[in-house]
Amino acid sequence: MNTRISLAIVFVVGSTILYQASEWWERAFATHVFSLTSPDGCIRLDYFKPFWVLPSIFHRIPGIDGTRNRPGMIWDAPAFTRAYEVSTGVFLGETITYDGSGTVGGVFWGDPSTPGQRRIHVGGFPLVKTDKCADAATLAKLRAAYDAENAAGRALESERRSRR
């Protein structure tokens, strides 16, 4: 067999293996950045910076709708998030690796009006759908936190308007 063809085959196979391995080690050797606890104190989110050996242009940036942009785009703040139940430490789920600088919104801790089920989103990306921390009492704490946040926002808005 021709040496050039052999080298090309080795390069393609090696590149494919390296890319697949990078999908694993980006999470296995990730750096913990910070943690955030839900307003009801039931769920903890841990934010991580993935361990990348390959430059960011080789990683495809995901869209919120599940599509992925073409490779070759530079990432500003790659991250992924893991969710745990605070009282037991049980792992609930994790997001895909996303570019934190291009996300919409912050953390949505779930809809307090639907007991029995809780869906948590980070930056618009789905994180977990769980029945943990979805009882009526816990969701009442979440509703109270949302109401307090909304009241504080309304107070700031009325203060801003009164200064005009």
Instruction: Give the DSSP H or E segment for 127.
Output: strand 125-130
pLDDT bracket for residue 23 (50, 70, 90): confident
- What mean pLDDT is predicted for residues 21-46? 87
pLDDT tens digits, 34-88: 999 998 889 999 999 988 766 666 666 666 655 666 666 677 778 889 999 998 9
The predicted pLDDT at position 114 comes to 80
- Nearest 5°: the CA angle 30, 58, 105 is 60
pLDDT bracket for residue 32 (50, 70, 90): very high
Among 13-17, 20-24, 155-159, the range scoring the smallest mean pLDDT is 20-24
* Domain extents in the chain: 3-162
d(C-alpha 155, C-alpha 44), whole Å: 28
The predicted pLDDT at position 33 comes to 92
